[in-house]
Amino acid sequence: MKTIIVCYEERPVATRVLERAAMFAKALGAKVIVTSVAPGVHGRSLGPYDPADPPERHEAEVEDAAARLAELGVTGVETVTGAGDPAHAIVHLADERRADLIVLGAHDGGLFSRLFEGSLGDTVVHKAHTDVLVVH
């Protein structure tokens, strides 16, 4: 295993996502790329971002995640941000970088949000061309 993509968003599961990614990266000597994508305003379509969830917030999140990974003993972490459809961007990044593993947090919404908004994790799991670790 050479490359791990960590999908990061500051929420309750975030610490566990970083801990699992660090565990695999250190054990396998893998490179870590942390990503966070600002969703487009038209649901999952590409387009302008939601002003309540701007790209700058995602840039700060990945920098924070890289610093936390360094505290866990993972150095040389690359950060990648974007705007648009988060699931598509994650799968594209994993394909582009030939990632061996995608690590992301489980959906923490209720049934209503999962049915009507969908789950990023579900979409990534179904569209990814590599292994996906969903952390609870």
Task: Encode pLDDT of 23-47 as tens digits.
Answer: 999 999 999 999 999 987 554 444 5
In angstroms, rounded to a whole number, what is the distance separating the alpha carbons of residues 97 and 36?
15
Give a three-class secondary structure readout of 4-32: EEEECCCCCCHHHHHHHHHHHHHHHCCEE
Percent above pLDDT 90 for the chain: 70
Closest CA to 57 of 104, 8, 117: 8
Which carries the bigger pLDDT value, residue 116 or residue 102?
A: 102
Instruction: Give all strands of the β-sheet with 101-105 in edge-to-edge order.
Output: 78-84, 31-39, 3-7, 101-105, 131-135
- pTM of the full predicted structure? 0.88
89, pLDDT greater than 90: yes
